Amino acid sequence: MLSDIIQLNLFAFFVLFARIGAVFMLMPGIGSGYVPINIRLVIALALTFIITPLLKEGLPIMPVSQIDLMLLLLSEVIIGIFIGIVARVLIGALQTAGTLVALFASLANAMIRDPIAEQQSSLISTFLSTLGMVLIIVTDLHHLMIRGVVESYSLFQVGQPLLFGDFSDVLARRVADSFKLGVQLASPFMLAAVVYYIGLGILGRLMPVLPVFIVAMPLQIVGQIGFLAITLSALMMYFLMRFEESIIVFLEP
């Protein structure tokens, strides 16, 4: 009897850990490369240990065949990767916006290591990505992400067939929405750049001897950075609102 209880609890624990561990491998912030792997592992194990007594009643019985057991664990890992990617893709909107702003400010060649995107990015992209991750933690949206992971078991029940077509459609839409959001965040700077370049063109025609690039470059950099300082709070508030909307999808109605 005791051995049956132990086996049942271990089965439930590892089934839940398969999904939660995959999510925490990709979740923004916790799943970033600057967070040590052992810390991510401890957080995933702790959360699995907490929710196992709450969710084990809704799990299917332990498969007799080892192949069925491996397929069950693999399906949970795939669902966890899907949820983690959905949350991580929207963070890319800040990198898209930062890259466009850096391009308009003539700072696109100044590259630095981005700890959020885990690659070389422009200065403004790194700043926006880091600020966005800090605001997600400060506003407790990471709690909403964890809640979404737990309540995803109502949306994606354990043992049910995987809907790869729906997964692909959702990911494609999320990538498109992320790029669209990045362009929307950078649209004020794009409009300012268009006006600025038209003015430079007119000035160059009126004063051919004026070294336009030498005179305009400092003004362009200072103007775009100043515009970023003015609009930064509104941009980040809009981003947080859209990020919250993308996570609420996984919550129970």
182-193 pLDDT, tens digit per residue, is: 888 888 888 888
In a domain, 253, yes or no: no
Distance separating alpha carbons of residues 1 and 14, to the nearest angstrom: 20
Kindly tell me if the per-residue pLDDT of 117 is higher than 70: no
Judge whether 33 lies within some domain. yes
Instruction: Say what the pLDDT of residue 161 is.
Output: 78
Query: Poorest-confidence range of 5-9, 78-82, 105-109?
Result: 5-9
E strand or H helix that includes residue 114: strand 111-114
Taking 70 as the threshold, does the pLDDT of residue 115 lie above it? no
User: What's the pLDDT score for residue 1?
Assistant: 45
Supply the pLDDT for residue 4.
Answer: 47
**Which residues on adjacent β-strands are paired with residue 202?**
none
Burial class (CB within 10 angstroms; exposed 0-12, middle 13-18, buried 19+) of 132: buried
Is 159 inside a domain boundary?
yes
Q: What percent of the chain has pLDDT over 70?
A: 91
The residues pairing with 112 across neighbouring beta strands, listed in sequence order, are: 121
Q: What is the mean pLDDT of residues 144-172?
A: 80
Residue 43 lies in a domain: yes
Which is nearest to 31 in space by CA: 101, 91, 84?
84
Q: What is the residue whose two structure tokens read 């103007």?
A: 223
pLDDT band at 250 (very low <50, low <70, confident <90, very high): low
Burial per residue of 147-181, b for 16 or more beta-carbon CB atoms within 10 angstroms, e otherwise = ebbbebbeebebeeeeeeeebeeeeeebeebbeeb
Report whether pLDDT(158) > 70: yes
What's the average model confidence in pLDDT over 92-112?
80
Report how far apart, in Å, the C-alpha atoms of 188 and of each of 39, 96, 126, 240 are: 40, 14, 19, 18
Listed range (168-177, 206-215, 238-247) with the worst mean pLDDT: 206-215
CB 56 within 8 A of CB 12: yes
Average pLDDT over residues 131-159: 82
30 in a domain, yes or no? yes
Residue 13 lies in a domain: yes
Residue 112 phi/psi, 5-degree rounding, is -150, 160
The stretch 29-52 carries a mean pLDDT of: 81
Q: How far apart are the C-alpha atoms of 247 and 245, rounded to whole Å?
A: 6
Domains: count for the chain: 1
Give me the chain's average pLDDT, please: 80
Residues 196 and 223: beta-carbon distance below 8 Å: yes
- Model pLDDT, residue 48: 85
Domain that holds residue 26: 2-248
